Amino acid sequence: MIDFHMHTLGSDGELLISELARRASVIGYRAIAITDHCDFSNVEELIKATLKVKPYIEKHYKITVLAGIEITHVPHEDIGKLTEIARSLGAQIVIVHGETVVEPVAKGTNRAAIEAGVDILAHPGLISKADVMLAARRGVALEITSRKGHSLTNGHVARLSIECGAKLVIDSDSHCISDLLTADMAKSVLLGASLTEAEAEMVINNNRELLKRIVK
């Protein structure tokens, strides 16, 4: 399992980075990205915290840890600027908290994230076809999520992405131990989004390919 969307005590998660990594390693995770919620106030400290503990974890727990952030409830006109700042601070992966139907995310956030060239647009809700087509052209991955609430629109995201040729990834958006995914559950989530077996395998492979691109 490779998971690019996970939270810790750095934002609204329940575990330290090291504990999350250890527990993920034990159940078979190959790599995780620490993507705590951020805005301009905490982006630097979040990235530094992960980069600080990353070598220790990778040495002792045999799991790859990526330093990342999830830009969350930031005005869409500032998403590009914050993406640039995060990358300059050493973020290996940048995701944006998309227009989920269960939170009051500002309209235009999906488009701004794609235009900013982030790595993943998380739980993009009832994303428009035009935005999915733009994501396909820009190489921005759209997330299929196992997170309660956010997952309500997985089918919509999957259908449009397959139709438009946009890249999909599967993530847990973990906040606590029970959110961690097994490989079998990840596949079930994908099939539950009405993807075929072949399409589900393609998404799982997209996670592998993204990891390879980040960890050269």
pLDDT in tens, 39-69: 999 999 999 999 999 999 999 999 999 999 9
pTM of the model: 0.98
Model confidence at 117: pLDDT above 90: yes
212 vs 39: CA distance, rounded Å: 27
Provide the residue range defining the domain that includes 151: 2-214
User: What average pLDDT does the segment 145-151 reach?
Assistant: 97
DSSP 105: P
Q: Tokens 């399992």 appear where?
A: 1
Residue 83 near residue 118, CB atoms below 8 Å: yes
pLDDT in tens, 158-190: 999 999 999 999 999 999 999 999 999 999 999
In this structure, how many other beta carbons lie within 10 angstroms of the beta carbon of residue 208? Answer: 13
Q: Edge-to-edge strand order for the sheet containing 120-122?
A: 2-6, 31-38, 64-71, 93-97, 120-122, 141-145, 168-171
How do 168-171 and 141-145 pair as beta strands? Answer: parallel
> b/e map of 7-43 (b: 16 or more CB within 10 Å)?
bbebbebebebeebbeebbeeebbbbbbbbbbeeeeb
Q: What is the CATH number of the domain that holds 13?
A: 3.20.20.140
129 vs 113: CA distance, rounded Å: 15
Q: How confident is the model at residue 200 (pLDDT cuts 50, 70, 90)?
A: very high
Q: Taking Cα atoms as reference points, which of 134, 171, 178 lies closest to residue 154?
A: 171
145 vs 172: CA distance, rounded Å: 6
String of DSSP letters for 133-198: HHHHHHT-EEEEE-STTGGGGHHHHHHHHHHHT--EEEE--BSSGGG---HHHHHHHHHHTT--HH
> b/e map of 141-159 (b: 16 or more CB within 10 Å)?
bbbbbbbeebbbbbebbbe
Residue 183 near residue 135, CB atoms below 8 Å: no
pLDDT in tens, 66-113: 999 999 999 999 999 999 999 999 999 999 999 999 999 999 999 999
Write down the pLDDT at residue 216.
79
In this structure, how many other beta carbons lie within 10 angstroms of the beta carbon of residue 89? Answer: 16
For the chain, the domain total comes to 1
Write down the pLDDT at residue 110.
98
Model confidence at 121: pLDDT above 90: yes
Write down the pLDDT at residue 38.
98
